[in-house]
Structure 1
């Protein structure tokens, strides 16, 4: 498994990536994520997840970001997992865990002490997955989503 940058050679395959129908309300499509990565290019870290030459997913981290703050204080800045989408036919094979661990390793190498994630708090949602990976809810909500943190 490996993470790769999005390039002219692979972006069309990335745009075609789709999660299961029952998960479509849990994660934005890759097109939306790439638009955000363009707008927040100094804060977004988008990557494709490959198994050999097979594209199996998309992950995007956010770096030193303060959601909604126009003049953030240093203690407001956070980094973490912004998006994770594993292709419908590739789920359950460890790709999500690999991607989260790679994002956390990159954040640790940048000097971050923790990684944040937000997720929809609903049955069938990703909470058990993130808890298994060491994320714990902070008690905060961001636009109705649970905010969770993992020490690095």
Structure 2
């Protein structure tokens, strides 16, 4: 009787585990974590004064869209050049912090992130802050920002 009960429990547990969805790289939880990681890496790069490193979080394409106070910018290279003009040195860049308000899966390959950015800078430069919304797309080499609206 014990063996039959044990066999029944093991069979039931095996069936339950086979039917339970497993978390993998395509689940919303891990996609959200991956997107958060990209933003954390960007903040660290920016805070070190390394714009090229910061830009690795963006889609390296002429179709990248950046919307800022000066209007629309298309392209990875042009976005980098705009950052270089606006933030010519580490003192101007300051220390970047993101406060994420929403990280939402739009599809298995697309995520929307809404949040607030803050640049802590020396007193003579003054702190800056604003809000942003970015759209991430999943590529073979990871999650990349394909559109950025920052104000």
TM (normalized to structure 2)?
A: 0.28
Q: Structure 1 or 2: larger helix share?
A: 2
Rg larger for = 2
TM (normalized to structure 1)?
A: 0.28
